[in-house]
Amino acid sequence: MDDVVGVFDAMAATYDELEPWYEHLYARVHAIVRQALPRLAPGAAASALDAGCGTGFQTALLDALGYRAHGVDLSPGLLAVAHARLPRATFVRGRLEALPYGDGSFDAVTCCGSTLSFVADPATALAELGRVLRPGGRLVLEVEHKWSAELAWMAASALTGDALGYGVTARTLWQALARPLRESCVLAYPGYGRLRLFTATELRRLLTAAGLVPTTTWGIHSVTGLMPSTVLHRPRLPGALRPVYAALCAVDGLMTRVPPARGVASSLVVLARKTT
């Protein structure tokens, strides 16, 4: 946990300076949040939690939709930026595996930015997200996906002496993947530490066990997976690549719910409802 806090505290000052990879990811995630969560009438009493809120730019979206916005995160550095961004929201420091809220506190919860992929015990974290939702409440969850085009680029890099800069050896990759195909795996990513990559099957099982019923799934970074993410994790793309990437992003945005594209997407977004 301390390693994760250190990684994100170090990013606090520049966290909102989105690289091309994250520009597209958050544009799509926020479009999905607007689609999945109803815009409320002025004065509505509904509340929403941004779990893994970072600097609060998604918390601000919940606020704009009319919810009484709350945010929770492990990183004091990110929370300080969030407080300054949205003073009227309520921000607290806490862990997803032990959320500091009572049962049924929220009408909606978002957990994006790959937050669950950094959690050591995702089953407990999802149980907590389900616990703090009211019956009928909605969860919008985004996670890193295992069977993606990105995994193919990682393998290609591992087999060519890390030519693409993923920092993963062929042996490490094989050890991570040598498990049942439907289970998640954990791999390190440069600058972010260890990330859990979920399968769609495992994610549905974990959500169901937490009393949450998945209703819609989207995929992000499928068509854009034609480019390795290590090329896109930089402040700006070289001029020749910008129009190519813009075109891929446009097509990717149209393909978020198409099963073949979703199957190779680097991120999965799931809308789920609490049953009781």
> Which three-class secondary structure string do you get for the chain?
CHHHHHHHHHHHHHCCCCCHHHHHHHHHHHHHHHHHCCCCCCCCCCEEEEECCCCCHHHHHHHHCCCEEEEEECCHHHHHHHHHHCCCCEEEECECCECCCCCCCEEEEEECCCHHHHCCCHHHHHHHHHHHEEEEEEEEEEEEECCCHHHHHHHHHHCCCCCCCCCCCHHHHHHHHCCCCCCCEEEEECCCEEEEEECHHHHHHHHHHCCEEEEEEEEECCHHHHCCHHHHCCCCCCCCCHHHHHHHHHHHHHCCCCHHHHCCCCEEEEEEEECC
Q: Are 142 and 114 in contact (CB under 8 A)?
A: yes
C-alpha to C-alpha distance for 219 and 213, rounded to whole angstroms: 18
Number of structural domains the chain divides into: 1
Q: Are 255 and 219 in contact (CB under 8 A)?
A: yes
Count CA atoms within 13 Å of residue 168 on its CB side: 28
pTM, rounded to two decimals: 0.95
CATH number at residue 94: 3.40.50.150
- Res 1: pLDDT: 47
C-alpha to C-alpha distance for 125 and 162, rounded to whole angstroms: 34
The burial class, CB within 10 Å (0-12 / 13-18 / 19+), for 227 is: buried
Show the domain range for 57.
Answer: 2-274
pLDDT tens, residue order, the chain (276 aa): 457 888 888 888 888 888 999 999 999 999 999 999 989 988 888 999 999 999 999 999 999 999 999 999 999 999 999 999 999 999 999 999 999 999 999 999 999 999 999 999 999 999 999 999 999 999 999 999 999 999 999 999 999 999 999 999 999 999 998 889 899 999 999 888 899 999 999 999 999 999 999 999 999 999 999 999 999 999 899 999 999 999 999 999 999 999 999 999 999 999 999 987
